[in-house]
């Protein structure tokens, strides 16, 4: 669900609704369990998304966690998903390392994400000394300047058969619409990561992309299952993902090919 607290603060920095006080009590046992697992390894752990901003729907939403330095994050997520299956749809743990917070476009996005979207649960807190980040093109580039790089990887995975079309379609839809949210943020001098708002607004600005963006939105929200032919068209050189990447390159800028990062 959209974060009603997201936007631009009076000083021009990113504002979100992520706050420890907004975490629903029903999710405290899950978070305590996850924090205990991370704490034993000395890793840092954060919660973000709907649990962090209080819009979570018990039984229907995912629980999104971010770890810094946690070994076996995927296995831990599977265990937590099984244990709390009645509380949430699943637990995801995005795994990062301290070098992912270094100084390049990707790391800038990682730091902004950690500062504004994540609620600290346990371990050292690299976000504690970070200033508020401006809601601007640099932040939008830090979050999604890898959109064309991802498109090329998704297309290669589809052609090689190393990933199924439906999974690639959902992944591409979610990431591409976040890039569209960056375009809307910069174009309208606002700040949003709301996929639905972004798709509708950019469709108004560029009517030729309205229908393809609505299709991506239907995949991202699980309203429709991506068909293989549709996914191939979306990832083609003349498809909607390439179009979004092109607009992003022109308005905001893409990461240099050498850039690295693990921003969730």
Residues in the chain: 264
Please say if the pLDDT value at position 234 is more than 80.
yes
pLDDT at 262: 43
pLDDT at 218: 98
Nearest-angstrom CA–CA distance, 234 and 243: 9
Q: What is the DSSP string of 92-151?
A: EEEEE-GGGGSSSHHHHHHHHHHHHHEEEEES--TTTTPPPPBSSHHHHHHHHTTHHHHH
- Which residues have CB under 8 Å from 132's CB, separation 6+? 9, 11, 13, 14, 115, 116
pLDDT at 253: 97
Residue pLDDT, tens place only, 123-158: 999 899 899 999 999 999 999 999 999 999 999 999
Please say if the pLDDT value at position 259 is more than 60.
no
């Amino acid at each position: 669900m959209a974060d009603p607290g997201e936007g631009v603060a009076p000083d021009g920095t990113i504002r979100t609704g992520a706050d420890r006080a907004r975490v629903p009590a029903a999710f405290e046992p899950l978070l305590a369990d996850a924090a205990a697992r991370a704490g034993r390894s000395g890793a840092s752990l954060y919660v973000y998304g709907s649990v962090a901003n209080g819009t979570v729907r018990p039984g229907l939403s995912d629980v999104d966690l971010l770890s810094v330095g946690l070994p076996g994050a995927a296995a831990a997520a599977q265990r937590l998903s099984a244990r709390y299956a009645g509380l949430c749809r699943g637990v995801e743990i995005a795994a990062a390392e301290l070098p992912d917070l270094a100084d390049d476009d990707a790391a800038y996005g990682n730091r902004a994400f950690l500062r504004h979207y994540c609620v600290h649960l346990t371990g050292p807190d690299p976000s504690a000394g970070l200033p508020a980040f401006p809601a601007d093109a640099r932040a939008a580039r830090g979050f999604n300047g890898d959109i064309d790089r991802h498109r090329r990887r998704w297309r290669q995975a589809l052609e090689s058969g190393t990933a199924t079309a439906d999974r690639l379609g959902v992944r591409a839809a979610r990431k591409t619409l976040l890039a569209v949210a960056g375009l809307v943020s910069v174009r309208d001098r606002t700040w949003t990561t709301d996929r639905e708002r972004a798709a509708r607004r950019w469709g108004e600005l560029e009517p030729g992309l309205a229908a393809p963006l609505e299709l991506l939105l239907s995949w991202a929200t699980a309203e429709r299952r991506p068909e293989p032919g549709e996914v191939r068209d979306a990832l083609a050189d003349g498809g909607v993902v390439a179009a979004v990447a092109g607009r992003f390159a022109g308005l905001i800028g893409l990461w240099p090919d050498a850039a690295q990062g693990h921003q969730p």
